[in-house]
Structure 1
Amino acid sequence: MKATIEDKVQTRIPTKHGEFILHYYSNSLDEKEHVAFVKGDVAGKDNVPVRIHSECFTGDVLGSRRCDCGEQLDMALDLINQTGFGVLIYMRQEGRGIGLLKKLQAYNLQDQGLDTVDANIKLGHLADEREYDIAALILNSLRVNSIALITNNPQKIDEMTKLGIQVNDRIPIETHIHLDNLGYLKTKVERMRHILKMPEKK
């Protein structure tokens, strides 16, 4: 079945990063509340800065230092605001698509020595189960011509391109590296092809 979406409501949201319009979408694939946070006029524009951000309750809301998600969210909104236009799509696919419960179980496995990939696999999941069909539909709904994707993940560029989105550029989004997220980021680089500058070994 081909996925469909509907832009149910749009409302103004003032933030510390300036004013955005929040678009709430319903869809035919799941009951989740995927949204787009839009700055300025993006219809018909090329090279629109776009962040496709997957929900991370622990990082985005609680400020967990185990990952870089909350910091990336903040940086992306700031970048879009500084540019004057852009889109942040907030996808409700927690824990790379495995959900909050399994993500928290994976955290415990990581504390026992597994990396993020092996922890997901031990729980019976893929390393990354996220899908981007709805994100592509949202960009089409907003009539964006082409995008500059705010990401360190080449796989995300590949997925969006396969879904018919023209990705003209990649905007890096590198956060602070510290002891709490070092292993997490190292696994992203070594096992998931993410483009990040890691500290040199001493």
Structure 2
Amino acid sequence: MRNNNSSESIDFSHMHLVSPLITPSRVPSTPVPVTLSTTGEEARKREMQRQHLPELPQVTCLARARIPTTHGADIFLHIYENNVDNKEHLAIVFGEDIRSRSLFKHRPHESQQDRMTRGAYIGRLFPGRTVADEDNEGNKLEFEENGDLKIDYKTTYSTADPAIVRIHSECYTGETAWSARCDCGEQLDEAGRIMGEAGHGCIVYLRQEGRGIGLGEKLKAYNLQDLGADTVQANLMLRHPADARLFSLATAILVDLGLEDIKLLTNNPDKIAAVEGRERQVRVTERVPMVPLGWSKGGKGIKLKEIEGYLSTKIERMGHLLEKPIHT
């Protein structure tokens, strides 16, 4: 094996691969096939089919709470359970008019205190408040006989532009460990800034670390990247798809929040189709690009070689809609 600091490509031929079906190229930038008989385009189609379940997952919002932020904008953090995995996924909501159907539904034998405790209230909480369904300005929530919140989501949101939405997958390394191997932390911060300024929007935060392969496997992939593989090659060498996430969870959460027409913050065209669902339960009316801060004019984002390689792989191997700046 060549020295780790060498600029030459690394010879993978002597390495014992996790999957015997995958043989990485001697040149890391050359695409690695998913299997010996599957093309890259076929692999992408197969992944898209896997990302759509036959039916939307069942999701229930367990609680929400107001979170004052360091940027000055309040958010309402929603936590969801579902029938697909054992993870609690999140919705970070900007604005008080976005309400969860499952959270606000009346439940048998619950008190007004119970409703306030789990966040099913109108307006703002304050010391001494005793009623969840009416605020101190006289605004009331109305309910159907079955306990559902009486609200015409289409009418409510048709008077304004579709909400800005970001589907964001958990990234411990990029959001907590200051990693420069990806731009996930930067994208999360930028989405929050945009929605905070607009005062309206939602970040669906999926607990799908490492594009769905988990943190442990992600760290193994990092080691393979240091040996010369790119992010796609590393996943394939570990017998994982390039993207193992399940976006129908996000679709179900958006439907629960009444966000059925959205502006989607993304550079990933596959994510648009995945989030819309098999029956287009959600409609993306506009794609809002996310330009890396280091690539924007006068930008002060991360400009290290690792993140440059990561972004290049997204463009060249995963079809992301980004243009490299001339100076890179």
Using structure 2 for the length normalisation, give the TM-score. 0.59
Query: Which letter does structure 2 place at the counterpart of 1:83?
Result: A
Match of residue 8 from structure 1:
62
Matched, 1:148 2:274: no
Q: What SS class does the counterpart of residue 180 from structure 1 fall into?
A: helix
Match of residue 138 from structure 1:
253
Q: Return the alpha-carbon distance in structure 2 between the equivalents of residues 147 and 162 of structure 1.
A: 13
* CA-CA distance at 1:109 after TM superposition: 0.4
* CA-CA distance at 1:16 after TM superposition: 2.2
* CA-CA distance at 1:180 after TM superposition: 2.8
Comparing 111-120 with 190-199, which one deviates more in the overlay? 190-199
Match of residue 163 from structure 2:
48
Query: Which letter does structure 2 place at the counterpart of 1:49?
Result: I
Query: Which letter does structure 2 place at the counterpart of 1:4?
Result: Q
Provide the alpha-carbon RMSD of the alignment. Answer: 1.5
Match of residue 159 from structure 1:
274
Per-residue deviation, residues 38-77 of structure 1 (Å, max 9, x unmatched)? 0112354252100000000000112211100000000000
* CA-CA distance at 1:174 after TM superposition: 1.6
Per-residue deviation, residues 61-97 of structure 1 (Å, max 9, x unmatched)? 1221110000000000000111110000100001111
Query: Which letter does structure 2 place at the counterpart of 1:28?
Result: N
Q: Which structure's CA Rg is the greater one?
A: 2
Matched, 1:189 2:189: no
Q: Return the alpha-carbon distance in structure 1 between the equivalents of residues 259 and 277 of structure 2.
A: 16
Q: Return the alpha-carbon distance in structure 2 between the equivalents of residues 72 and 201 of structure 1.
A: 22
Match of residue 170 from structure 1:
287
Query: Which letter does structure 1 place at the counterpart of 2:172?
Result: F
Q: Gaps spanning 5+ residues in structure 2: where? A: 1-53, 99-152, 295-302
Match of residue 86 from structure 2:
31
Select which of 22, 26, 45 maps to 2:77: 22
Q: What SS class does the counterpart of residue 67 from structure 1 fall into?
A: coil
- Please tell me whether the aligned partners of residues 251 and 277 of structure 2 are also in contact (alpha carbons under 8 angstroms): no
Count of aligned pairs between the two proteins: 202
Select which of 210, 234, 254 maps to 1:119: 234
Identify the structure with the greater helix proportion: 1
Identity within the alignment, %: 47
Comparing 155-164 with 142-151, which one deviates more in the overlay? 155-164
Match of residue 64 from structure 1:
179
Q: Return the alpha-carbon distance in structure 1 between the equivalents of residues 293 and 195 of structure 2.
A: 19
Q: Return the alpha-carbon distance in structure 1 between the equivalents of residues 306 and 313 of structure 2.
A: 13
Query: Which letter does structure 2 place at the counterpart of 1:66?
Result: R
Matched, 1:129 2:244: yes
Identify the structure with the greater strand proportion: 1
Higher relative contact order at CA 8 Å, sep ≥6: structure 1 or structure 2? 1
Per-residue deviation, residues 106-145 of structure 1 (Å, max 9, x unmatched)? 0010011100001000000100011111111111111113
Q: What SS class does the counterpart of residue 189 from structure 1 fall into?
A: helix
Q: Return the alpha-carbon distance in structure 2 between the equivalents of residues 68 and 174 of structure 1.
A: 10
Using structure 1 for the length normalisation, give the TM-score. 0.95
* CA-CA distance at 1:196 after TM superposition: 1.4
Q: Gaps spanning 5+ residues in structure 1: where? A: none
Q: Return the alpha-carbon distance in structure 1 between the equivalents of residues 224 and 264 of structure 2.
A: 32
Q: What SS class does the counterpart of residue 306 from structure 2 fall into?
A: coil
